[in-house]
Chain A
């Protein structure tokens, strides 16, 4: 019933707005369009966790969404990071980060963003800045009450991405 409704609504939207006939991950409504790229879960840069317990500990899709919003909120006012995030399309960043973390934690999400190397190319991110972001993530997870061990399960997935994110 619900899916029929969604389908009908989707079909109507397609008919109503031919320009957005197929809203693509690189040209989402409300986001700045970027160059097309190949969409693939592998772009998330890590295999998803097999068991669901950690995703539960994060509070599911809702919990992840709140944690990522908090992470982005902290980072854009963080004196160590604010410069880097000034030109960023935060609508897109929030969406893709939520997808990525949900996917990595084994949640029911697909990652539709770019891979980590191309996302961070030429940003000149340093190790210190990488760790600053991790600290903000720890702060957001603490605030959401995610147990320390569950936090580290996610951090263990993100840590190896340093090679693709950090350029100097």
Chain B
């Protein structure tokens, strides 16, 4: 697993090595962790859910950018994600992530073949529309952002065979984030309209339900010091496919900002049943580099 992680991260090392010399870390205009970390779909957030925070350390008048590599090692599968994200003026976020869902030995039992892999590209855009999670400490109103994720899966044939309706789809979401500095607490709630099965890795819409449904994603964390945020996330999901039950996702995470150029997130993720294989729980490890 770590060898695979290293391979994916080689890309961003090359990317950041060039800019690191020219980039004075301290000129980055935001406080540690106030851009969140990289979620599995590439947006700035927690591990599983996008937050209203704009990724990176760019303040108004600045640009922030980062790359990430994530691995979730499950009993019967391995999920990987790598991507890049830009935060413009602490206002607009653009992201791209390539997700890989590796069925490994499980692929054979599913009749897909050993090492069968689903791949999905996710293009994301997020706009901060209201409030400020960090500075609005004198009122209860959160920072609110709206976003969309365009997803395209490379396995239309398999998706059709398991009852999925499309291999492409768009998720829309509204996220609200509040940092309660008084209590050193971060809260996020996201409502997502989606047709995605397992986030889109098993396509969009299905034989049981083909409509958009509203799903809720909640995150709560405590800042233990200015570098370390620990917390939990819960993400509800649709259950559109007849052949296998789809479960909600949850995790317990610790996000550590080494500095403004590097953060590491480790989590214990419970992704429930996936494509008839039960209790997919395992280690989530993500590394993010940028400015």
Contacts and interface: CB of A to CB of B under 8 A. Distances in A.
Interface of A: 46, 79-80, 126-128, 131-132, 134-135, 138, 148-149, 152-153, 155-157, 159-160, 162-163, 168
A147 to B, nearest CB: 10
A163 B31 CA distance: 17
Main SS class of interface, B: loop
Given A128-B29, A155-B181, 8 more contacts: A126-B60, A127-B29, A127-B59, A128-B28, A128-B59, A131-B59, A159-B136, A162-B135
Nearest to A128: B29
10 contacts: A127-B61, A128-B62, A132-B29, A148-B224, A149-B184, A152-B184, A156-B181, A159-B136, A159-B137, A159-B138
B254 interface: no
Interface of B: 26-31, 59-62, 90, 134-139, 180-184, 223-226
B184 A160 contact: no
Contacts, number: 65
Nearest to A78: B26
A128 B183 CA distance: 24
A128 B61 contact: yes
User: Which label, helix, strand, loop or mixed, suits the secondary structure of the A interface?
Assistant: helix
> Which 3 A-B pairs give the minimum distances between C-beta atoms?
A128-B29, A156-B181, A160-B138
Nearest to A154: B181
Given A131-B59, A152-B182, A152-B184, A157 B137 contact: yes
Contact of B135 (A138, A148, A163, A168): A163
Contacts of A163: 135
A148 B9 CA distance: 33
